[in-house]
Structures are given as C-alpha cells and as structure tokens.
Structure 1
Amino acid sequence: MPVSPSSSAQAAREALAVRLTHLRKDAGLTGKELSARCGWHPAKTTRIQKGEAAPSDTDIRAWCCACGAEDQAEDLIATARAVDSMYVEWRRIHRNGMRKEQEDLYALYEQTAVTRAYVSNVVPGFFQTPAYATALMSRFTDFHGTPNDISQAVAARVARSRFLYEGTHRFVVLMEECVLRYRIGDAETMTGQLQHLLAALPLPSVSLGIIPFTAERVLWPLEAFYLHDGARNVVETLTAEINIVQPRELADYRRAFATLTRMAVYGDRARALIDNAVNALR
C-alpha cells in the first residue's frame, strides 16, 4: 500500500537535519553555542535539527561557518534545494501564473518515453480539449488566487497532445469512471471532452483503461499520480505538487498502478462507459 506522498520530502528533510546535527557535534558545539555563533534563538536550531524547519541558504552558510566547515556549505545548500523541490505548493508554482509550469511539463513529457497516469478527479492534461482546460484552469486560479494567464497556459497545456501523435511516446492511462461524469464546464464542454477521449482510444500510442463504478475495489481510489518512465512520480494534491524519486516509494506506486490496471476495462467496454457519459449529458 502506498505511503503518504509527502514522505519522500520529509525523509529527505530529516536526512539533511541529521547531516547538520552531525556537523555541529563534530565541531564540539552544543545547540546553544551554535545558535549564539549564528546569531539566532536556540529554538531555531532545535527546529532545524528535528526537520521541522527548512534552513535557508543563509542559514546553512552560517551553520557551516560556525562549525568551521565552510567547504561543505554548497553541497548542503544543493541538498536543501533538492528537498525543497520535492514538495512545492501550487501557490508557489503559480505565483506568476500557470503558463511557465505548463511549459516545464511540456519539456518533461518530451523526455518521457512511457507515461503511466492514474486519475480520479479530472482528465489528464495531454487528453484535454482547449475548452475543458480553460474551464478547469479558471476554477484552479479562482481557488488559489493566483495570477490569471489562462489563455497562454491553456495553449501550453494543449501543446502536449502532440506527443500522442509524434515520436515513440506511450501513454498508459487509468481513469476512474467518475472522471467521465464530473462536470468541468458546461454540457457542451464536457461532451466535446468525452468525444475527444473516444477519438484517442484507437491511437497506437494510447492505452486507456476505465475503472467502473461497479468494479470490486482491490485498491481504494487514490489521488492522481503520473509515473514518468518509472523514475519519477508526480502526485497532485489540493495544495501541492509532490515529486517522488525515492526507489521504495516508486516501487509502491508502480505496484499500485499494476493493481489498478486489473480493475479497469478496455476497448469496447471502455468506449461504452464513455458513450453512456455522453448520453447522460444529452
């Protein structure tokens, strides 16, 4: 069973805290002594050593200087930045709008040979129509209160669909049936999106499985996740994007994907579920 998707980031943060603690001990300093040399309250040192607070670049340089280990500062800063990139809040990612993130994702998909995606909430970005993407991004921007550059972001998101038709990219997608029924936009928008899914079904690059409402749940519904060549997993929560690279957790998600695969229907049975959703809109 997959563990909390934020555990990779927390484990890495704790590992950084251990390295800093060992640095202090190797220098023969107490927490109070190090805090005095750094010019901050001892409580800050305690929070950093427990992995409860993320040290800034300046904090790490001060810590290393206090311990006489200036030569280790840059390596520790690089480690801290890697930890910071594992768990990133949407408000931070979209602080200047959504276009930049969509362009970064384009580059990621361009480099990915096989994308394995499981969704339980919305249609994956590479399958989205412009109208569906616009409706979804509008709600996302309104909820998080981030800058509105939706038209540019939609263009960047829809551009990813070219990989369905070009190159040797493969997309193995598992979708809960509820995704077909959740109304994103008006009836016309949803109808167009569902018809687009029907058009994608026969593509050689696509394997689309739908997990019916009636499926016996061997594994409960999960938050959406995207496995890129099995080496990186991106989990989407309400508030953040979580990048998982820890081998043990990647193995858990690959196992979860395999389990969910056995619950899905394909081909004509999948097409029938999509047709039913289209007919319900009429």
Structure 2
Amino acid sequence: MPTSPSSSAQAARENVARQLRELRKEAGLTVTELADRCGWHHAKTSRIENAKTPPSPTDIRLWCRTCDAVSQAADLIAASRHAESMYTEWRRRVRTGLRQLQDSYVPLYKSTRLFRVYCSTLVPGLLQTEGYAQALLSANARFHDVPDDAAEAATARLERSQVIHEQGHRFVFLVEEAALNYQLGDADAMAAQLGHLLTAGALPSVSLGVIPASTPERRLWAQETFSMYDDTLVSVELLSAQVNVTQPSEIGLYLKAFEELRTMAVYGQAARALIVTAIDALN
C-alpha cells in the first residue's frame, strides 16, 4: 500500500508548485521579486512553491501575469483545483449539513457498475440500517463540531443505498469481524443492523465476505476503510478527511490489497455464523 493514502493528492499539489516555481525561474525572478510584483509577502511565495499553501485562482493568475505566462494560467488553475478536490477535510464537506454530503454521492453511485468496499471497523454505508447510520452520523457530527442533522442524513443514506436493488450494479463487500462487534446505537439498533446484513448478503448482486479475527498468519494487515468505484476511483476515509485516489498505479495497489483481503474472508454460511455470533453477544 502507499506510505500515505493522501500521496496522490500531495503529488498533484507538488506538481502545480513545481510548475509555478519553474515559471518564476524562467522569468529570472527571485522569490522576493515575484512577491513584490504580486503584492504579497515573500513567505507566501515560498509556501506555494513548497506545496505548503495551495494557490488560489487569483494567485495563479497574478503569478502567471508576472512571469509573462498568462496563457498557462487556465491549465494551472484546473490542475490546482483537481489537486485540492483529491483531499477534502470532513469539516469542509459537512459545512452545509450531513444530508447534503449523503446526497452528493448519488451521481457516483448511479454511474458505478462494480463497487468494491472494504471496512475494518464499521458496517459499509451501503449496508447500513437507519438506526445504525443515525448513531454513526450523529457521533461524527459531535466529533467534528458541525450541525447534527443525522436523522435526515440517515434517511438520505438509506435512499442512496437503494442502488443495491437496481439492475446493472455489482457489489463486493469485505468487513473485518471486528466491525460486527463495535456497537453503534443501542442493542436493538445494533441487532437490527446485524440482522440486515444477513438479508443483504443474500441478494444476488451482493457478495459479502467477513474476515475472521482468528485468521492465522494474515498475509495483509487491517487497512483503512476504502471504496473502489469501478477501476477509476478509490475513496479512502481518514479521521480528518476523505482522500480520492485517481492515479492508476495507486488504484492498482488498492485493488491488489482488496484481492488479498478477499482471499482471507469467509462467505455464505461461515460468514452468517460470524454475524449470528455477534448478534448473540448483544444479549
């Protein structure tokens, strides 16, 4: 796996920074000279060139104008916007509410044919019940100190999950056994969630694998939660942000990891037995 799941985003930022630095040098300007002509402190130029601070579109236009490279501004602005969209802090994403965040995924879900989802600590979002989802989303709202519209967001999450019942989509879910035992909500909500897994796992479009905690000599350790949308996008969930991986070489690493994890999972009756054991442990 990549050393950091945000490496694609950082590499994209550094590429923009490198191009801006090269424009400055080709124009024969020092860091201080460029800063003076753009009307900002020289430290800002250094932060931009070292990919510490993302440049705004206005910054890039001023930079290119100062370096007599106005024709390159549009491409650099587009590249910078793309880099910043690859790594998005959760607090920024939920400023307009948790429900809006749930709804934002609908177009992606509609266009994806093959979903591959690995979860180490939680039930996958597409398989969550309303009670479980509401408990999770409310906890997230409290942790990130954002408005708590978890009830509406949970309803939206269930609405978008209806894609499981639509033709033209396939779903491969992998969960660590631990995810079955971390209780969210009260015991009744958790029991309902686990019971739903028994039902959803039997759907013809769904493959549900559980990786037993007792797996001997694991060939790959537990990973951060990630979702693969066809072979073009991997979304990785971190504590502070969501990372969107689009670089083919990194997507290939996540696919390799997914297939490795998949070989350690149990399916069918063996998976159902682990779920039932988790239900019994609630009593």
Q: Following TM superposition, by how much is the alpha carbon of 1:151 offset from its aligned partner in structure 2, in angstroms?
A: 2.3
SS in 2 for 1:68: coil
1:239 aligns to what? 240
1:75 aligns to what? 75
Between 39-48 and 234-243, the greater mean CA deviation after superposition: 39-48
Q: Report Cα offsets for 1:16-74 as digits up to 9, x if no partner.
A: 01110111122221222111101112121111111111111121111111111222212
Q: TM-score, normalised by structure 2?
A: 0.97
Whole-angstrom distance in 2 between the partners of 1:34 and 1:235: 37
Q: Following TM superposition, by how much is the alpha carbon of 1:148 offset from its aligned partner in structure 2, in angstroms?
A: 2.0
2:260 aligns to what? 259
Q: Following TM superposition, by how much is the alpha carbon of 1:180 offset from its aligned partner in structure 2, in angstroms?
A: 0.4
The answer to whether the 8 A contact 1:176-1:212 is kept is: yes
Q: TM-score, normalised by structure 1?
A: 0.98
User: CA RMSD of the aligned region, Å?
Assistant: 1.0
1:48 aligns to what? 48
Whole-angstrom distance in 2 between the partners of 1:2 and 1:27: 36
Q: Following TM superposition, by how much is the alpha carbon of 1:160 offset from its aligned partner in structure 2, in angstroms?
A: 2.1
- The number of aligned residues is 282
The answer to whether the 8 A contact 1:106-1:157 is kept is: no
Q: Report Cα offsets for 1:104-159 as digits up to 9, x if no partner.
A: 11221111000000001111111011111111111000100111222221121101
Amino acid at match of 2:253: D
Q: Report Cα offsets for 1:158-182 as digits up to 9, x if no partner.
A: 0122111111211101000000000
The answer to whether the 8 A contact 2:138-2:149 is kept is: no
- 2:123 aligned with 1:123: yes
> Which structure 2 segments of 5+ residues have no match?
none
SS in 2 for 1:172: strand
2:278 aligns to what? 277
The answer to whether the 8 A contact 1:218-1:259 is kept is: yes
Between 45-54 and 230-239, the greater mean CA deviation after superposition: 45-54
1:20 aligns to what? 20
> Which structure 1 segments of 5+ residues have no match?
none
Whole-angstrom distance in 2 between the partners of 1:219 and 1:278: 27
SS in 1 for 2:53: coil
Between 253-262 and 101-110, the greater mean CA deviation after superposition: 101-110
Amino acid at match of 1:153: A
Q: Following TM superposition, by how much is the alpha carbon of 1:267 offset from its aligned partner in structure 2, in angstroms?
A: 0.6
Whole-angstrom distance in 2 between the partners of 1:164 and 1:39: 54
Whole-angstrom distance in 2 between the partners of 1:176 and 1:157: 22
Whole-angstrom distance in 1 between the partners of 2:54 and 2:142: 29
Whole-angstrom distance in 2 between the partners of 1:190 and 1:106: 26
Whole-angstrom distance in 2 between the partners of 1:2 and 1:207: 26
Q: Percent identity?
A: 52
SS in 2 for 1:203: coil
2:190 aligns to what? 190
- 2:37 aligned with 1:37: yes
SS in 1 for 2:273: helix
Q: Report Cα offsets for 1:193-234 as digits up to 9, x if no partner.
A: 000000011111100000000013211111100000021000
Amino acid at match of 1:71: S
SS in 2 for 1:262: helix
SS in 1 for 2:264: coil
Whole-angstrom distance in 2 between the partners of 1:161 and 1:81: 29
Alignment of 1:138-149 (within 5 A): 138-149=138-149
